[in-house]
C-alpha cells in the first residue's frame, strides 16, 4: 500500500492512568518501531495534543477526570484527522458502541494480545495516510477546478480561465455569449476582479430592464433641464465606471437607436450627457453579455453589425452545462458548500449520477436551485437520488421504457384512444403499412385492425404528436 508512511515518523500518544500498562505498551510499541509518547491522564494528553500532532492516539477508557470518551470527543473537535483507539479492561458491548459512535476508530480489550493491538494500529495509520492523500487530492482538484468566482474543470472552462488571464491587463471590449444560467455574469465579474482594474468600480446594467430614454440617461448621464424631471445634473454609468468595467448585460435587447449612440461612445472614447454640450473623456472597459444568437439578431435587423464588431473584440462563449458534464460534480459541490454550513453534507453516488444524466436546460442556475431544494428535502447528511428533483425527469435509465412512455402520455393528457391510435400508427409505419405484420406486433386481430383503421383516421391525426 503506497499510502503507508515511513515507520520513523509514526507517532503514538498512549494514555493510561495505570503506569504499568503505560510502560508495557511503550515497550511493545517502541519495539515495533513506533515513536511513543506517554501520558498518565486525559488532561495531560489534551495538553500534549494541543502542542503537537500525533499520528494516532491510544487511550484507556476508564480514567479519573477526563476519561477515554471525553478525550475522544475533544480530540474530534481539535484534531478531527487524528484517529483514536480506545482500550478497556471492562469491554462491554455498550461501551464499545458509545466509543464507536463517538468516532473512535477502533476498540481493543485489555489484556490485549500484541498482535491484536498492532493490527489495529496498522489500520489506524492506513486510515490516516488515506485521509491525508484525499485532502491533498481535494486541494489539488480545488486548485484546477476554479478561477475567481468561477467553478468548473472542463476543458471549456479551463480555456475560459486562460483567456481571462490573458486579457487581465488590456482594455479590449469583450462579448460573453451563452444560454441563460451558464454564468455570464460570473465570468464578467471574474474578469474584472482578477484583472488590472480590480480596485476600480465594476458597474453592471441590465439593458432589458429599462425603457429606452431612461437607459440612455442612465448610461450617459444628463444635464439639468434636459427633460422633464431632470432637476439636477446626473453622472452616467460610464463616468461612474471610470477606470473600471461597465457590464452591459442582455446587450441583445438594447434598442436600435441607443445602439448607434453607444457605438459613437465606443469609437470616440468619450460621452456626452443627455442635453449637454460638453463631452467627457472616459477610460472604461466594456463587457457585454447576451443569451441571444447575435448573428440572427443582425440578420433580422435588430442589432447593428458595426456595434457587434466593436463589442466582440474578444468573444467568450460559455457552452451549455450539458456539453461540459465534467463540471457538474464540482459545481454541485460548490453549491452545497455555498448553501449549507454543515460540513458533513454529502451527495450520494446515485444522486451525483442522476445529476450527471440530467439535461439542465437552465444550466448552472438550475443546478444551483436543484441543490438548494435537495438541501431542504434531505433527511440525513447524505443527499439521496430521490432528493434530487429534476423537472421533466425522463431519462432512459429512470424506470422501464413502458413507465417512461406512460409518464409522457400522462403529461400530455392523452386519452386511451389517442394512445391506441398512435400505437397502431406507429406499428403500421414500422411495418411499412403491412397490416398483417402490424396486427401481429399489436397483438390484434387483422380484421379488427382494418375496421379500426377505417373508423379512426381523424383521431389518429390528432394523436400524431405522440412518439
Ligand atoms: N461556472 C460557475 N461557477 C460558479 N457559479 C456559477 C457558474 N456558472 C453559473 N454559476 C451560478 O449560477 C447562477 C447563474 O449565473 P449567472 O447569473 O452568471 O448566469 P447568466 O449566464 O448571466 O444567466 P442569464 O442569461 O439568465 O442572465 C449564479 O448563481 C451563479 O453564481
Ligand atoms: Mg445574467
Same domain, yes or no: 332 and 372:
yes
Confirm whether 1 is domain-assigned: no
User: Rounded mean pLDDT of 67-76?
Assistant: 91
- The per-residue DSSP string of 134-163 comes to HHHHHHHHHHHTEETTEE--SHHHHHHHHH
* Tens digits of residue pLDDT in 371-410: 999 998 888 899 998 889 887 654 445 566 677 677 767 7
Tally of domains in the chain: 4
CA 329-335-339 angle, to 5 degrees, is 150
Same domain, yes or no: 262 and 157:
yes
Among 145, 2, 134, 120, CA closest to 57: 120
* pLDDT recorded at residue 192: 95
- The ligand minimizing its distance to the Cα of 178 is 1
* pLDDT recorded at residue 88: 81
User: CA of 315: how far to CAs of 129, 198, 217, 287, in Å?
Assistant: 46, 21, 28, 10
pLDDT band at 78 (very low <50, low <70, confident <90, very high): confident
Q: Please state the atom number of ligand 1 nearest to the C-alpha of residue 290.
A: 25
Same domain, yes or no: 308 and 333:
no
pLDDT at 8 over 60: no
Q: Which of 333, 362, 387 is the last residue of a domain?
A: 387
Cα 380 to Cα 463: distance, rounded to the nearest angstrom = 45
For a ligand 1 pocket test, name from 146, 157, 182, 193 the mutation site with the most ligand atoms within 8 angstroms of its C-beta.
Answer: 182
* Tens digits of residue pLDDT in 217-237: 999 999 998 888 888 888 999
Same domain, yes or no: 292 and 181:
yes
pLDDT at 141 over 80: no
pLDDT band at 246 (very low <50, low <70, confident <90, very high): very high
Confirm whether 106 is domain-assigned: yes
Same domain, yes or no: 121 and 196:
no
The alpha carbon of 363 and the centre of ligand 1 are apart by a number of angstroms equal to 8
The domain of 49 spans 7-141
For a ligand 1 pocket test, name from 365, 367, 369, 372 the mutation site with the most ligand atoms within 8 angstroms of its C-beta.
Answer: 365
pLDDT at 169 over 80: yes
Confirm whether 393 is domain-assigned: no
pLDDT at 152 over 90: yes
* pLDDT recorded at residue 465: 42
Cα 315 to Cα 441: distance, rounded to the nearest angstrom = 54
Q: Please state the atom number of ligand 1 nearest to the C-alpha of residue 184.
A: 21
Name the least confident of 27-41, 91-105, 142-156, 169-183: 91-105
Ligand 1 cavity residues, CB under 6 Å: 150-152, 178, 180-186, 291, 331, 364-365, 368
Q: 240: part of which helix (H) or strand (E)?
A: helix 237-240
Confirm whether 425 is domain-assigned: yes
Q: Which three cell numbers stand for residue 229?
A: 424631471
Amino acid at each position: 500500500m503506497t499510502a503507508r508512511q515511513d515507520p520513523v515518523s509514526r507517532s503514538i500518544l498512549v494514555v493510561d492512568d495505570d503506569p504499568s500498562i503505560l510502560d508495557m505498551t511503550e515497550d511493545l510499541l517502541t519495539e515495533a518501531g513506533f515513536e511513543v509518547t506517554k501520558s498518565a491522564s486525559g488532561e495531560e494528553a489534551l495538553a500534549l495534543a494541543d502542542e503537537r500532532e500525533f499520528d494516532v492516539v491510544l487511550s484507556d477508557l476508564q480514567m479519573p477526570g477526563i476519561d477515554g470518551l471525553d478525550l475522544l470527543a475533544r480530540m474530534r473537535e481539535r484534531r478531527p484527522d487524528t484517529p483514536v483507539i480506545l482500550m478497556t479492561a471492562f469491554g462491554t458491548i455498550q461501551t464499545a458502541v458509545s466509543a464507536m459512535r463517538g468516532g473512535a476508530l477502533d476498540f481493543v480489550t485489555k489484556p490485549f494480545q500484541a498482535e491484536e493491538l498492532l493490527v489495529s494500529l496498522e489500520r489506524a495509520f492506513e486510515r490516516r495516510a488515506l485521509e491525508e492523500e484525499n485532502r491533498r487530492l481535494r486541494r489539488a482538484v480545488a486548485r484546477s477546478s476554479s478561477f475567481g468566482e468561477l467553478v468548473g474543470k472542463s476543458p471549456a472552462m479551463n480555456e475560459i480561465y486562460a483567456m481571462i488571464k490573458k486579457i487581465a491587463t488590456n482594455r479590449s471590449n469583450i462579448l460573453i455569449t451563452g444560454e441563460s444560467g451558464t454564468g455570464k455574469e460570473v465570468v464578467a465579474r471574474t474578469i474584472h476582479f482578477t484583472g488590472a482594474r480590480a480596485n476600480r468600480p465594476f458597474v453592471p446594467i441590465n439593458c432589458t430592464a429599462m425603457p429606452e430614454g431612461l437607459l440612455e440617461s442612465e448610461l450617459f448621464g444628463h444635464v439639468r433641464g434636459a427633460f422633464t424631471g431632470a432637476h439636477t445634473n446626473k453622472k452616467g454609468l460610464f463616468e461612474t465606471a471610470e477606470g473600471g468595467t461597465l457590464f452591459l448585460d442582455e446587450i441583445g435587447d438594447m434598442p436600435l437607436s441607443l445602439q448607434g449612440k453607444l457605438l459613437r461612445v465606443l469609437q470616440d472614447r468619450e460621452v456626452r450627457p443627455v442635453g449637454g454640450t460638453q463631452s467627457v473623456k472616459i477610460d472604461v472597459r466594456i463587457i457585454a453579455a447576451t443569451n441571444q444568437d447575435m448573428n440572427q439578431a443582425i440578420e433580422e435587423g435588430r442589432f447593428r453589425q458595426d456595434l457587434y464588431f466593436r463589442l466582440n473584440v474578444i468573444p467568450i462563449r460559455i457552452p451549455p452545462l450539458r456539453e461540459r458534464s465534467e463540471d457538474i460534480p464540482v459545481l454541485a459541490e460548490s453549491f452545497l458548500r455555498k448553501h449549507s454550513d454543515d460540513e458533513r453534507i454529502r451527495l450520494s453516488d446515485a444522486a451525483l449520477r442522476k445529476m450527471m444524466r440530467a439535461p439542465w436546460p437552465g444550466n448552472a442556475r438550475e443546478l444551483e436551485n436543484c441543490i438548494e431544494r435537495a438541501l431542504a428535502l434531505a433527511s440525513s447528511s447524505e443527499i439521496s437520488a430521490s432528493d434530487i428533483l429534476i423537472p421533466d425527469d425522463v431519462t432512459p435509465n429512470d424506470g422501464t421504457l413502458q413507465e417512461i412512455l406512460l409518464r409522457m402520455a400522462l403529461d400530455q393528457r392523452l386519452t386511451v384512444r389517442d394512445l391506441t391510435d398512435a400505437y397502431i400508427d406507429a406499428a403500421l409505419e414500422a411495418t411499412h403499412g403491412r397490416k398483417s405484420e402490424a396486427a401481429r406486433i399489436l397483438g390484434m386481430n387483422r380484421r379488427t385492425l382494418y375496421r379500426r383503421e377505417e373508423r379512426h383516421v381523424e383521431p389518429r391525426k390528432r394523436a400524431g404528436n405522440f412518439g
